[in-house]
Amino acid sequence: MGRKFFVGGNWKCNGTEDQVKKIVDTLNGAEIASPDVVDVVVSPPFVFLTSAKSSLRPEIQVAAQNCWVKKGGAFTGEVSAEMLASLNIPWVILGHSERRALLNESNEFVGEKVAYALSQGLKVIACVGETLEQREAGHTMTVVAEQTKAIEDKVSNWTDVVLAYEPVWAIGTGKVATPAQAQEVHKELREWLAKNVSAEVAETTRIIYGGSVTGASCNELAAQPDVDGFLVGGASLKPEFVNIINAAT
Q: Which residues are catalytic?
A: 96, 166
Query: Distance between CA atoms of 221 and 228, rounded to whole angstroms?
Result: 9
Residue nearest to ligand PEP (CB): 233
Residue among 92, 62, 87 at smallest CA distance from 236: 62
Residue among 122, 42, 124 at smallest CA distance from 82: 122
Q: Closest separation between CB of residue 106 and ligand PEP, Å?
A: 19
Q: Which is nearer to ligand PEP, 176 or 197 (CB)?
A: 176
Per residue in 140-175, is it b (16+ CB within 10 Å) or e — as a string? bbebbbebbebbbebbeebeebbbbbbbbbbbeeee
Give Cα separations from 74 to 65, 113, 122 (angstroms): 20, 17, 22
Q: How many CB atoms lie within 10 A of CB 198?
A: 12
Q: Which is nearer to ligand PEP, 19 or 198 (CB)?
A: 19
Q: Which is nearer to ligand PEP, 197 or 232 (CB)?
A: 232
Q: Closest separation between CB of residue 231 and ligand PEP, Å?
A: 5
List of residues contacting ligand PEP (CB under 6 A):
10, 12, 166, 171-172, 210-213, 231-235
Q: Which is nearer to ligand PEP, 197 or 221 (CB)?
A: 221
Q: Closest separation between CB of residue 58 and ligand PEP, Å?
A: 24
Q: Closest separation between CB of residue 182 and ligand PEP, Å?
A: 12
Q: Is 41 helix (H, G, I), strand (E, B) or coil?
A: strand
Q: Which is nearer to ligand PEP, 29 or 172 (CB)?
A: 172
Q: Which is nearer to ligand PEP, 44 or 233 (CB)?
A: 233
One-letter identity of residue 249: T
Residue among 90, 179, 92, 125 at smallest CA distance from 6: 125
Q: Is 8 helix (H, G, I), strand (E, B) or coil?
A: strand
Q: Closest separation between CB of residue 86 and ligand PEP, Å?
A: 26
Residue among 94, 100, 99 at smallest CA distance from 118: 94
Query: Distance between CA atoms of 189 and 44, rounded to whole angstroms?
Result: 28
Q: Closest separation between CB of residue 169 and ligand PEP, Å?
A: 10
